[in-house]
Structure 1
Amino acid sequence: MIALTLDRIAEITQSRIYGSAQPSELVTGPVVVDSRQVVPGGLFVALGGERSDGHDFADAAVAAGATAVLGSQPVAAPQLLVDGGDAEVVAALGRLARAVARELTGADIVGVTGSSGKTTTKDMLAQVLDRLGPTIAPAGSYNNEIGHPLTVLRADEDTRFVALEVAARGIGHIAHLCTIAPPRIGVVLNVGSAHVGEFGSREAIARAKGELVEALPDAGDGGVAVLNADDDAVAAMASRTRARVVTFGRAEGADVRATDVTLDAVGRARFTLEMAGHSAPVRLALVGAHQVHNALAVATVAAECGMAVEEIAAALGEAGPVSRWRMEVTELADGVTIVNDAYNANPESTAAALETLRAIGEQRRCHAVLGHMAELGEGARAEHERIGRLAATNGVATLLAVGDEAAPIVEGANGVAAWRGEGLTVPDATEAAAALRERVRPKDVVLVKGSRVAGLEQVAEQLIAVEGTQ
């Protein structure tokens, strides 16, 4: 973080210095909401939680070296006090990040959004851009009104790039995040059906995602909108921005293209990267055919930031997984392959995962453990049944639906007359792991996929743990 005195932070955040806090004391960062992450010179932001209240850890935070506590309840520790509860503390955090972002005159801010693939693309982008200079990116899916400013506040005078993931759970959310850290480059990956239950329609989701390109500077001021040419809803966003538009995809008209796409035996994509009359071979370290579009988005941004096509291809090949439970592949001693993609699920990402399972499991028995896909609204049953039919069409030997809400997946599979596999609905992750242990043979492939609330990463972890005890 750029060093600021407490009185300057109080001015920015519209808080007041309280208790033993000294106006001239410096905060050098980082700013954190978890007292266990405090380091000397940091600022601890106290928020209420489901199980505990951050104000209860104010003394521990200062003992660990925090210069002060930003919160809404008076505490004995040095404090910047905000009136109005947690909502006003979060607003104050946003104001602080906005002020710091304005000071990052030597840094490019890149925003990434989409219905799926945001976190993986952001992780890949940060690894590639880091070759050009110091790059800040959030850990995991730190993409909301709290995680977004906390990420920005990690930047300092030496930062060259800030790669941010921007998410929306309603109209106006992305627009708000873009006021905290105005991006010069905005990437829209796709518009799917994730959260359609909250938004009401795919068209509403597109409106929300498009707020990112609406927030970009004019083309003359360096604004660049990076859009997926293979997604009609994304491509249409070109009319909503004053920035220069650069497209990526497999379509012939895309500015940045992938041709000759193949998958190796473990589902990693190989393709030829083509841009601006130049080409280079790419071999991704990440698993899944869907990673091709993510990689193309990253390549487009990297080219805009001055990287040559050969260097981009090399950097993409070296970018590995960063955030947990996203196409995480584990090979067990008996040859069983476990693909843990349990962080989240929607119809598009689940279909992509099943296609990857088929590619990895060619000539091998495949098993799919699927949880329900949350927030799909009235179309939830139909989407779950469709995924079941896709799993059956892909020839899975065992299809486990975890939880009653996921049961229509098995119903859909059973409706495929040619399917000779077994479909079961089990109540939880423990029962799913037990069912798999009875059915999985050496050299089989297991896919685990579900919405975050299902906690299906436990299935993969239990299978791996059992092997470790043998």
Structure 2
Amino acid sequence: MIPLSLAELAAVVSGQQCDIPDPDLRVTGPVVIDSRDAAPGCLFAAYAGERVDGHDYARAAVDAGAVAVLATRPVGVPAVLVEDVTAALATLAGHSVRRLDTRVVALTGSSGKTSTKDLIAQLLERLGPTVWTHESFNNEIGHPVTALRAGPDTRHLVLEMGARGIGHIRDLTRVTPPSTGVVLNVGTAHIGEFGGREQIARAKGELVEALPPAGEGGVAVLNADDSYVRAMTARTDARVVLFGESPDAHIRAENVRLTEHGRPAFTLRTPAGCSDVTMRLYGEHHVSNALAAAAVAHEAGMPTEEIAAALSAAETLSRWRMEVSERADGVTVVNDAYNANPDSVRAALRALAAMGRDRRTWAVLGEMAELGDEALAEHDAVGRLAVRLNVSKLVAVGGQEAVWLDMGAKNEGSWGEESVHVSDAQAAVDLLRRELRPGDVVLVKASRSAGLERVALGLLEGEVTAR
């Protein structure tokens, strides 16, 4: 953030100074919401959550170096008091970013946001100091916290934007107006909350509506292969750059294939030329993510050959997203347990099939949350897809949704013992420990609420090497 005195900070957020002996003391950043992250010069934002109230940790934050606390009540240490910490933080973020010479790149989509954000960040970092969203810290709290990490030397600010309803993305763009907006896809994530893909498209399209006109530098980077996203061309005055495998895409992939290890390879073609890419990530779905990142980098002036080299070197920055580890006995564990929706689970299953062409494959799957009336059909369909992809064994973990996964697999074909339903993560670990053989490949995936990362971590206790 731009350095501010406590008096200036209070004026920006319309707050009241409390227990501040020296209003000229300066906050140099960052803003933290966990007192354990407090460091000299930072501002601690005290949130009152369901289980923990940040106000109780105000003194610990100041003792660790925080200049002051953004709070709703006196906390016995220097504080700026406001009615709503979330709203004040958004105001502060907007004030700071608007005073920086930083290009704001925002992206959204039903799936692939975090992986694509990580790719964009790794490409743009080659062009100058870049700040990006940590993990999927993409809501009304995480968004301003990320934006406030940008300082006077930041050249690129890459912000992932999530939405659980109409208006959410519009609100985030008002905090930090983007110059470049990327829409990846319109799928079925949170379809139960939105009520249909048309509503999801309406919400995601709020990003391109917020872009400045082409004459003022606005660029909309849109997926040419997704009809809902392509249609957003009509919703923006920004210059449109299409990416995908469609022949008319400005940034496109040709000769797409998977290596013997399940890593995507393709020829990247831009208006400036073409160059070959072989990614270190796993799964063909990363081709679309890579093209979106390539489009952003191309617009930022990066040569095609350098884009291809950067994509080929890029790694997973966020945990539990197709995180591949190999045990000493040759068992490969793919931890993709951070989140799940029907589109991302299908992509992960296809990646598993590619990785295990000559090996036994296990799909350990749990609930895909927030699907509403589509839950039964979507879980059933995923179970059936596991059969069609010749996954060796499906382990469905959890309650009713897992039962639907298991039954879908068994109803699809001749599967019997190849599909099994277990009650919880520990039961899955126990089963796998008994039955895994050297060389097997295990995919673990579910919505975050299912906690299936415990399966992957349980299998990896001890001897692990990242691939």
TM range (shorter): over 0.9
User: How far, CA to CA, are the matches of 2:160 and 2:31 in structure 1?
Assistant: 18
User: Where does 1:351-430 land on structure 2 (aligned, <5 Å)?
Assistant: 351-404=346-399, 405-419=401-415, 422-430=418-426
2:379–2:402 contact (8 Å) kept in structure 1 = yes
1:55–1:75 contact (8 Å) kept in structure 2 = yes
Q: CA RMSD in A?
A: 1.1
Residue aligning to 1:59 = 59
Which of 422, 426, 429 lines up with 1:433 in the alignment? 429
User: How far, CA to CA, are the matches of 1:21 and 1:43 in structure 2?
Assistant: 16
Residue aligning to 1:230 = 225
User: Where does 1:217-366 land on structure 2 (aligned, <5 Å)?
Assistant: 217-276=212-271, 278-366=273-361
Q: Give per-residue Cα distances to partners, 1:42-101, cap 9 Å, x unaligned.
A: 100001123221111111111111111100011110010113xxxx11000000000001
1:335–1:443 contact (8 Å) kept in structure 2 = yes
SS in 2 for 1:168: coil
Q: Give per-residue Cα distances to partners, 1:266-298, cap 9 Å, x unaligned.
A: 211110000115100011111111000000000
User: Where does 1:94-173 land on structure 2 (aligned, <5 Å)?
Assistant: 94-104=90-100, 106-173=101-168
User: How far, CA to CA, are the matches of 1:293 and 1:417 in structure 2?
Assistant: 31
Post-superposition shift, 1:168?
Answer: 0.5
User: How far, CA to CA, are the matches of 1:121 and 1:417 in structure 2?
Assistant: 36
1:344–1:450 contact (8 Å) kept in structure 2 = yes
User: How far, CA to CA, are the matches of 1:395 and 1:311 in structure 2?
Assistant: 38
User: How far, CA to CA, are the matches of 2:56 and 2:108 in structure 1?
Assistant: 35
Residue aligning to 1:29 = 29
User: How far, CA to CA, are the matches of 1:23 and 1:329 in structure 2?
Assistant: 50
User: How far, CA to CA, are the matches of 2:105 and 2:16 in structure 1?
Assistant: 33
User: How far, CA to CA, are the matches of 1:361 and 1:419 in structure 2?
Assistant: 19
2:107–2:184 contact (8 Å) kept in structure 1 = yes
User: How far, CA to CA, are the matches of 2:121 and 2:208 in structure 1?
Assistant: 20
Q: Give per-residue Cα distances to partners, 1:402-435, cap 9 Å, x unaligned.
A: 1112210111111122446611111111101111
Runs of 4+ residues over 6 Å off in structure 1: none
User: How far, CA to CA, are the matches of 1:385 and 1:421 in structure 2?
Assistant: 17
User: Where does 1:65-84 land on structure 2 (aligned, <5 Å)?
Assistant: 65-83=65-83
Question: Which amino acid is the alignment partner of residue 30 of structure 1?
Answer: P
Q: Give per-residue Cα distances to partners, 1:26-55, cap 9 Å, x unaligned.
A: 000111111111111110000112322111
Distance 1:296 1:144, change over 3 A: same
Q: Give per-residue Cα distances to partners, 1:294-320, cap 9 Å, x unaligned.
A: 000000000000001001001111111
1:393–1:419 contact (8 Å) kept in structure 2 = no
1:71–1:82 contact (8 Å) kept in structure 2 = yes
**Unmatched segments (≥5 aa) in structure 1:** none
1:110–1:161 contact (8 Å) kept in structure 2 = yes
1:373–1:406 contact (8 Å) kept in structure 2 = no
Distance 1:68 1:466, change over 3 A: closer
2:253–2:291 contact (8 Å) kept in structure 1 = yes
User: How far, CA to CA, are the matches of 1:391 and 1:236 in structure 2?
Assistant: 32
Question: Which amino acid is the alignment partner of residue 312 of structure 1?
Answer: I
2:272–2:303 contact (8 Å) kept in structure 1 = no
Q: Give per-residue Cα distances to partners, 1:366-399, cap 9 Å, x unaligned.
A: 1100001000010100000000000011112211
Residue aligning to 2:8 = 8
SS in 1 for 2:52: coil
User: How far, CA to CA, are the matches of 1:415 and 1:21 in structure 2?
Assistant: 71
Residue aligning to 1:458 = 454
**Unmatched segments (≥5 aa) in structure 2:** none
Post-superposition shift, 1:439?
Answer: 1.8
2:387–2:413 contact (8 Å) kept in structure 1 = no
User: How far, CA to CA, are the matches of 1:348 and 1:402 in structure 2?
Assistant: 19
Q: Greater CA deviation, 200-209 or 391-400?
A: 391-400
SS in 2 for 1:159: coil
Post-superposition shift, 1:265?
Answer: 2.3
TM-score (normalizing by structure 2): 0.98
2:272–2:304 contact (8 Å) kept in structure 1 = no
Residue aligning to 1:202 = 197
User: How far, CA to CA, are the matches of 2:168 and 2:217 in structure 1?
Assistant: 24
SS in 2 for 1:306: coil
User: How far, CA to CA, are the matches of 1:277 and 1:421 in structure 2?
Assistant: 54
Is 1:212 the counterpart of 2:212? The answer is no
User: How far, CA to CA, are the matches of 2:461 and 2:183 in structure 1?
Assistant: 38
SS in 2 for 1:17: strand
1:112–1:186 contact (8 Å) kept in structure 2 = yes
User: How far, CA to CA, are the matches of 2:216 and 2:124 in structure 1?
Assistant: 21
User: How far, CA to CA, are the matches of 1:34 and 1:68 in structure 2?
Assistant: 14
TM-score (normalizing by structure 1): 0.97
2:260–2:355 contact (8 Å) kept in structure 1 = yes
